[in-house]
Each structure stands twice: as C-alpha cells, then as structure tokens.
Amino acid sequence: MLVVKSVHTYYGNIHALKGVSLHVRKGEIVTLVGANGAGKSTLVNTICGMAKPSRGSIEFNDRAIEGLPPETIVRRGIALVPEGRQIFSAMSVEANLLMGGYIHRKNPGQVREDMDRFYGIFPILKQRKGQLAGTLSGGEQQMLAISRALMSRPDLLVLDEPSMGLAPLVTREIFAIIRELKEQGRTILLIEQNARAALKVADRGYVLEIGKVILEGEGPELLEHREVKRAYLGKGAKQIWEA
Amino acid sequence: MSCEDLRQTQLERLQATLNRVYRNVSFYRRRFKEINFRPEDDFTDVQDIERLPFTTSRDVSDCYPYEMFAVPLREVVRVHASSGSTTNPRVVGYTRQDLRTWSNLVARILSSGGVIQDDVIQIAFGYGLLTGGLGIHYGAERIGASVLPTSVGRTERQIKIMQDFRTTVLVCTPSYALVIAERMESMGFSPKNLSLKHCICAGEPWTEQMRKDIEDRLYVKATDNYGITEVIGPGIAGECLEQRGMHIQEDHFYAEVIDPETCRVLGHGETGELVLTTLTKEAFPVIRYRTGDLCSIMDEPCACGRTMRRLTRIGGRCDEVIVIKGINIIPDRIGDILEGIKGERPVFQLVAVRKDHQDQLEIRVEVTEQLFYDKMLEQRSLVDFMSKKIANFIGITPKVKLVERGSLQREGDRVKPFLDHRFGE
C-alpha cells in the first residue's frame, strides 16, 4: 500500500533521512523505532507532505505522492495523528471531529454516521462532546485525535508518538485501542519511542539510526534484539567495536 | 510474494545490511571506501549492487577467524567453519536471530522437498564444525519432524536404524545415498522393507542419472538443495516436488550469476558463477560472495506455485571450467556424456592443444575392457561416435584418443581433469 524508496530529506542543513526504504502492506501494523533524532518524525512529515524529500520516491496505492501538499495526501487516504496530539483546543470535541471529516463535508450523512460510531467506541467523547477539547485529559485528547484522523476515512493511519506524555496506565489504554484498530483490519504506521510496547503490537518493525534503517524484521523478533536496544538507547550504549 | 513486493523487500534489507556492514565490518568499510561508495547515498536501487566489489573465499580465509563478523563475539551463539585444506578455514558465526532465520529457511526447503511433521528424518550429514548436519537438524526440528542425528559413516548401522526406527526421510549426499543402496543390495536387504519416502540430497554436484538411480534403488523421491557455509549453510535454495530446479529463497539472499572470467552479470538462463548476498544475516553478512559454483537462474514460473526464481542443477566448479573457442566446457559434463555411451564413467582427461593457432580439445580416455575391441574398425567407430556425441553437446568437435590404463597424468590419486597445453607443455 505504502512504498517508500531510498528517501532523503533535509532539514535546513541537516541530512535527516539518508536513503530510507520501507513498505506497509494492507492490514499491517508497521512500527518505526529509534532514538531521539533518528529521523522518525522527519519520515512522518515526509510521508504526510509536510517536508519534501530531496531524492527518492513514495508511492501510495500505486500512485506517487512525494512532494504533494498535505491536503492532497489526506484526500489520497493517509491520515496523521500528530505528535503531541495537536487537537484544536479552543474548539469543542464535536467541532474537532467535524474538522476531521472536512474532506467529506459534502456528505453530511456519512460524517454524522462516522461521528456516532466514534461516540459509540469512546463514550467519554460523547459525554464531553460540547466541552472545549483543551479541557480533556491527555488520554481523552489522544482518543479524540485518533477519532479525528479516522473521520477522513483513511486507508492508512499514521500515529506519531501516541503514548508521548501520557501516564503509564493511559498508555496501556492507548495501545489497547491500537490493538483494536488492528483487529478491525486497519493499516497503521506507528512511530514510537516506547519501542517495547510498539514492537509488541506490530507485525513488522524498522529500526532507524541517524537517518538510516539498520534493521528490519518481525515485531516480536526485533524486541529481543541488541541492535534495537542500542539504537534506542542511542550513543550511551557501547559501540560494537568497544564491546 | 509478488515480484514487486520482493524487490522492495530486497531493497530494504540490502540497505539495512549495507548500513550495518559499513559501520561494523572494517573489511567492507575499506572496500567501499576504495570505490568511494557510501551505502546511504549510492544505494537507491537493488541494481546498484552491481557497483560493489566481490567477496571471495580468499577474503574470508584472510579474515580468519573473526575479522569479518559484524557483531561482537558475545552476540554470537554459534560458530561454524568450512574445511580449508590449503588455507585457513573459513569461519562463520550466527546470532540467536540468525539461528532462528536459518532454521526457518531450512524448514522451508525441507517442506518443499516433502517433509512434514509426521516424518522421521535421518540426518546422515557430518555434524560438527561443518554446517550441513546442524543446519538441517534445526530446520527439521522447526517443522516438528522426529530427528535422528545419525551423522556420517557406519553404513550398516545407518541401514539398521533406517529399518528399526522406520525412517521416512533420508538426508545425505547423493553419493552416500548410492553407497547405502549398494550396501543394502550386497546385504541382500530390500529397500521395499523400509518406510523411506523422501531423500533430500545436497553437499556435492550430482546428475539427473544419479537421481534416477537413487529413486529406483531406494524407492524414494529425491530432491536437490543448495547450501554454502560462507553464506549460511543449507537453506539457500531447494527443489520442490516438481524436481525442476531449486527455488532460491530470494527474500533472504540476493542471487546473481556472473561470467567467471569477465565478472559481467549474466541474464536469465545463462550459465555462470553463482554470486550471493545475504539480506538478513547479522553475525556474518556477505556482500556478493563468489561461490565458485556454476549454474544459471530460471525465471519461468514453477508448476508448484512458488514465485521465487530457480537455480539449475549445480554444473560443477568454475575453477574447473575450460574455455576453448569461447565455449565453456565443464569436465564433469563431458564425463556424463562418456558415461552415457557405455554405461560406465571412464577415466578421462581433457587437454587443450593449439595447432596452427587453432585451439583444439583433445579427450584422452583410458581404455577399459568395455571400451576395447579386437577389430580396428569397431574401435574407430566407437571413438568417432564419442566425438560426435560430445560435439553435439558442446558445439565443437573434440579429438578423442584412447590411451593405456594408468597413463594419464595424476595429482595424488586423482586424474587431473584438465591440462592446458596451448601455451607449450
């Protein structure tokens, strides 16, 4: 479904992605783990159109999407749950969901229907639908952010650090939601600092280290991998030749 | 897996492998720097691999024992080595994950050769430092078959075990399968009393005739598979029950066939030296390893439905290839033709000679009773027949000469398969 080939992206002078290739098949959860500064978020931005790759190609459903503006990419079927949730805090919960369904605004029946569905899944959102989104707790905001992204009826859901800044108990809840989404057959690209939790739910994973993929494999296999621990702990872990 | 999916997987895994060897293996870092190659910038398509230098068995010997490992020794849970007769042995290592991958790969090959969970599998490969025994062993356990690690030798005991333990699958070299068959015959023991169904052969080049012999004499279905220690051991490619070439496990190995002389990459169907790159190995990745084995890659879909391309039967070693008039000649194949004529493999030697600036192939065959006739005329026609048969196969007409028994130049107790007299004796 999503095929990324040898993508290079710069942030100003920083060569943040150095020839990264990966793919996500329909119905898969693929995770990307790596330390801070490994290039995870840059990759998300490049896929979602917020950063332009200098080289390489990105295909989604067999069409090239690299360099397209974000709004077009949303229409093509990729929805992002951004890092730090980025809900519209000055708007009500319901308005947030409506914004998520913006590209389907000419079909209010469908938007209504989707909204009711998410109210069914997350009753807490229904209880607070008139409340300003900024007053929700972190976990509730994350549920809102995920629902908002799903309102666009995407083929691929990109989750950028969904557990960031959440209490451990709430994190567990969020991962339960991700597992549920997987059971519904959704396709997910999951970017996570919490490598352990991410690799547990994922079918496959990629380990990113300073802009390069150094390992690829099945989620549970990568979990025990030393390179993963190293990449994840970053420079603090001993280099191979120092060991 | 579709062709496109496979290519993307290969690209991703190659990039990850190159990033790792560039960082962790000084040998490759040096090699890549020599040609000014940075994996992150210069590797954007699978085809870019053709820019990279080859790794030879010599390189691996020179890195004896651990220099080519890509992880520290404490990550390595197993070490194997190939037999090095004149040089240092070639030492390879496996991480825990490598062993898991390896078991899965061998399991795939065994099951494509017909092995299932209910089988009793007798592994008559050498255990120890060589990869054959333990490699197959773990794969068979992965399937869940009952494994009998009998190792090599003591043929009569092997036969007794085969009968008493009701072995259903025999794993051994093709020549050993024939040794077993022969011993059974001399013991007056009928293989019909056995439960054998499959014979998984590997470890040496063999012929279709040998397969037929094994199948007829042991009442089994015999399949071929390919492995080489430096790359992983068994588990690289294996035949399915169609018996038409060995499916390469292309999601874990990238295979190329090159012209051993010019090193040019050859197309499908062209015979040359097999070159392999590992895509998922951690402890001992190799980049473009020259196996020295001759074969070609078949692109046509297989009737079994597997989409991985196939290797043809290994046609010998490329260090034994003779090039005369631009034609690659493999002594072993000539032997097969000679064998076909009289039903026994004569002792023979290929000699390249140069007459009036023309290269010619001379085949010297030692006379045996079967090849000897009282009448000159009959003798002549046999020689002509041999030469014609071979000409049909290789495309040039050789000169066949019958020589006295024991007169061919030997190296130890083995007749040199080839002499080159083109540049003076």
Q: What is the CATH number of the domain that holds B326?
A: 3.30.300.30
Interchain proximity B44–A19, CB inside 8 Å: yes
Interchain proximity A5–B11, CB inside 8 Å: yes
Same domain as B310, residue B242:
yes
pLDDT above 90 covers a percentage of chain B that reads 59
Sheet with B418-420, side-by-side order of all strands? B399-403, B358-366, B348-355, B418-420
- Give the pLDDT confidence score for residue A194 in this predicted structure: 83
CB < 8 Å from A in window 252-311 of B? 280, 282
Same domain as B221, residue B170:
yes
For B111-135, what is the mean pLDDT? 93
| Closest in B19, B74, B97 to A221, CB measured | B97
Q: What is the pLDDT of residues B138-157, one digit of tens each?
A: 999 999 999 999 998 889 99
Same domain as B329, residue B306:
no
| Residue B30 placed within a domain | no
Of B302, B320, B338, the residue at which a domain comes to its end is B320
| Closest in B8, B13, B15 to A19, CB measured | B15
Tell me how crowded residue B318 is: count the other CB atoms within 10 A of its CB: 22
- Give the pLDDT confidence score for residue B424 in this predicted structure: 63
Judge whether residue B201 has pLDDT over 60: yes
Same domain as B353, residue B379:
yes
Return the CA Rg of chain B: 23
What range does the domain containing B305 cover? 93-320
Of A230-239, B10-19, B231-240, B300-309, the poorest mean pLDDT is in A230-239
Same domain as B211, residue B144:
yes
Q: What is the pLDDT of residues B275-319, one digit of tens each?
A: 999 999 999 999 999 998 999 999 999 999 999 999 999 887 777
Separation CA B211–CA B209 (nearest Å)? 5
- Give the pLDDT confidence score for residue B79 in this predicted structure: 96
- Give the pLDDT confidence score for residue A230 in this predicted structure: 65
Q: How many domains, chain A?
A: 1
Do the Cβ atoms of B334 and B363 come closer than 8 Å?
Answer: yes
Question: What's the gap in Å between the CA of A152 and the closest CA on chain B?
Answer: 28
> ipTM score here?
0.84
Q: What is the pLDDT of residues A145-174, one digit of tens each?
A: 999 999 999 999 999 999 888 888 999 999
Q: What is the pLDDT of residues A92-145, one digit of tens each?
A: 999 999 999 999 999 999 999 999 999 999 999 999 989 999 999 989 999 999
Q: Where residue B82 falls among pLDDT bands split at 50, 70, 90?
A: confident
Same domain as B365, residue B305:
no
- Give the pLDDT confidence score for residue B425 in this predicted structure: 56
The tokens describing A206, both together, are 């990629």
- Give the pLDDT confidence score for residue A239 in this predicted structure: 47
- Best mutation site among A210, A212, A222, A224 for testing chain B: the one with the most B CBs within 10 Å? A212
Judge whether residue B358 has pLDDT over 80: no
How many interface pairs between A and B have CB atoms less than 8 angstroms apart? 72
Of B320, B338, B359, the residue at which a domain comes to its end is B320
B104 close to A (CB below 8 A): no
Same domain as B310, residue B239:
yes
Separation CA A149–CA A184 (nearest Å)? 16
Q: Where residue A225 falls among pLDDT bands split at 50, 70, 90?
A: confident
> What's chain B's average pLDDT?
89
Of A16-30, B38-52, B80-94, the poorest mean pLDDT is in B80-94
The tokens describing B134, both together, are 């333990």
Of B320, B344, B362, the residue at which a domain comes to its end is B320
For B337-347, what is the mean pLDDT? 82
What range does the domain containing A158 cover? 2-242
Judge whether residue A90 has pLDDT over 80: yes
Q: How many residues does chain A have?
A: 243
Same domain as B287, residue B193:
yes
Chain B contact set for A240 (CB, 8 A) = 23-24, 70-72
| Residue B172 placed within a domain | yes
Q: Which of A204, A191, A141, A137 is nearest to A161 (CA)?
A: A191
B74 close to A (CB below 8 A): yes
Judge whether residue B410 has pLDDT over 60: yes
- Best mutation site among B9, B12, B98 for testing chain A: the one with the most A CBs within 10 Å? B12
Same domain as B288, residue B167:
yes
Chain B contact set for A21 (CB, 8 A) = 8, 11-12, 15
Tell me which long-range contacts B252-256 makes (C-beta under 8 A, separation of at least 24).
B252/B13, B252/B101, B252/B105, B252/B278, B252/B279, B252/B280, B252/B281, B253/B277, B253/B278, B253/B279, B254/B10, B254/B14, B254/B46, B254/B49, B254/B279, B255/B297, B255/B309, B255/B311, B256/B49, B256/B50, B256/B288
| Residue B328 placed within a domain | yes
Q: What is the pLDDT of residues B228-245, one digit of tens each?
A: 999 999 999 999 999 999
| Residue B366 placed within a domain | yes
Q: What is the CATH number of the domain that holds A178?
A: 3.40.50.300
Q: Which of B69, B18, B24 is nearest to B46 (CA)?
A: B18
B75 close to A (CB below 8 A): yes
For B357-363, what is the mean pLDDT? 81
| Closest in B15, B41, B96 to A213, CB measured | B15
Instruction: Say which residue, B206 or B14, is predicted with more confidence.
Output: B14
Same domain as B315, residue B226:
yes
- Give the pLDDT confidence score for residue B249 in this predicted structure: 97
| Residue B14 placed within a domain | no
Interchain proximity A212–B74, CB inside 8 Å: no
Same domain as B247, residue B104:
yes
Do the Cβ atoms of B316 and B260 come closer than 8 Å?
Answer: no
Same domain as B380, residue B285:
no
> What's chain A's average pLDDT?
89
Q: How many domains, chain B?
A: 2
Judge whether residue B84 has pLDDT over 60: no
- Give the pLDDT confidence score for residue B85 in this predicted structure: 47
